[in-house]
Amino acid sequence: MLAIELTGITKRFPGVVANDDINLEVAEGEIHAICGENGAGKSTLMKILYGMQPPDSGTIRIQGEEVELHSPAQAIELGIGMVHQHFMLADQFTVLENVILGAEPMRSLGRIDFDAGREHLDEVGRAYGLDINADDLVESLEVGERQRVEIIKVLYRGAEILILDEPTAVLVPQEVDELFRNIRELKASGATILFIDHKLDEVLEIADTITVLRQGRTVGTVKPDQVTAHDLAEMMIGSELPVPDAGESTVTEEVALELSGLRVAAEGDRAVVDDVSLSVHRGEIVGIAGVEGNGQAELVNAIIGIQDPDQGTITLLGRDITHVSVRHRREMGLGYVPQDRHRDGLLLGFTLWENAALGHQTEAPYSRGPWLSRPGMRGRANRIKDEFDVRTPNIEVSAHALSGGNQQKLILGREMVAGPAVLIANHPTRGIDVGAQAAVWDDIREARSRGLATLLVSADLDELIGLSDTIVVMLRGRLVARLDPNDITPRDLGAYMTGAALEAGAP
| Residue ranges in contact with other proteins by CB under 8 A | 47, 50, 52-54, 71-73, 76, 82, 84, 88-93, 97-98, 100-104, 106, 109-112, 153, 267
Closest approach, Cβ 110 to other proteins, in A, equals 4
Which is closer to other proteins, CB of 102 or CB of 247? 102
Closest approach, Cβ 10 to other proteins, in A, equals 17
Closest approach, Cβ 215 to other proteins, in A, equals 22
Closest approach, Cβ 151 to other proteins, in A, equals 14
Which is closer to other proteins, CB of 76 or CB of 286? 76
Which is closer to other proteins, CB of 79 or CB of 242? 79
Closest approach, Cβ 273 to other proteins, in A, equals 19
Which is closer to other proteins, CB of 72 or CB of 404? 72
List CB contacts of 207: < 8 A, sequence separation 6 or more. Answer: 31, 32, 33, 195, 224
Closest approach, Cβ 47 to other proteins, in A, equals 7
Residue 4's H or E segment, with its range, is strand 2-13
Which is closer to other proteins, CB of 132 or CB of 461? 132
Closest approach, Cβ 101 to other proteins, in A, equals 5
Helix 143-156 and helix 114-128, axial crossing angle in degrees, nearest 10 = 110
Which is closer to other proteins, CB of 2 or CB of 101? 101
Q: Is the dihedral of CA 198, 204, 206, 211 positive or negative?
A: positive
β partners of residue 368: 371
Residue 72's H or E segment, with its range, is helix 72-77
Which is closer to other proteins, CB of 103 or CB of 188? 103
Closest approach, Cβ 385 to other proteins, in A, equals 30
Which is closer to other proteins, CB of 139 or CB of 205? 139
CA distance 253 to 246: 18
CA distance 41 to 35: 10
Which is closer to other proteins, CB of 153 or CB of 330? 153
Which is closer to other proteins, CB of 137 or CB of 255? 137
Identity of residue 328: H
Q: Which of 290, 289, 298 is nearest to 264 (CA)?
A: 298
- For the chain, how big is the Rg over CA atoms in Å? 24
Q: Is the dihedral of CA 386, 390, 393, 394 positive or negative?
A: negative
Q: How far is CA 282 from each of CA 249, 366, 474, rounded to the nearest angstrom?
A: 11, 27, 22
- Taking the CB of residue 265, how many other CB atoms lie within 10 A of it? 18
Q: How far is CA 64 from each of CA 47, 67, 74, 189, 351, rounded to the nearest angstrom?
A: 20, 9, 16, 21, 49
String of DSSP letters for 208-269: SEEEEEETTEEEEEE-GGG--HHHHHHHHHSSPPP-----S----S-EEEEEEEEEEE-GGG
CA distance 495 to 507: 12
Q: Do 75 and 126 contact (CB within 8 A), yes or no?
A: no
Which is closer to other proteins, CB of 98 or CB of 296? 98
Closest approach, Cβ 362 to other proteins, in A, equals 27
Closest approach, Cβ 415 to other proteins, in A, equals 29
Closest approach, Cβ 106 to other proteins, in A, equals 6
Closest approach, Cβ 342 to other proteins, in A, equals 14
Q: Is the dihedral of CA 301, 304, 305, 311 positive or negative?
A: positive
Which is closer to other proteins, CB of 111 or CB of 319? 111
Contacts of residues 404-408 at CB distance under 8 Å and 24 or more positions apart, as own/partner, are 404/38, 404/39, 404/341, 404/431, 404/432, 404/433, 404/436, 405/432, 405/433, 405/435, 405/436, 405/437, 405/439, 406/436, 407/341, 407/345, 407/346, 408/337, 408/341, 408/345, 408/432, 408/436, 408/440
Closest approach, Cβ 13 to other proteins, in A, equals 11
Helix (H, G, I), strand (E, B) or coil at 329: helix
Which is closer to other proteins, CB of 92 or CB of 140? 92
Q: Do 99 and 153 contact (CB within 8 A), yes or no?
A: yes
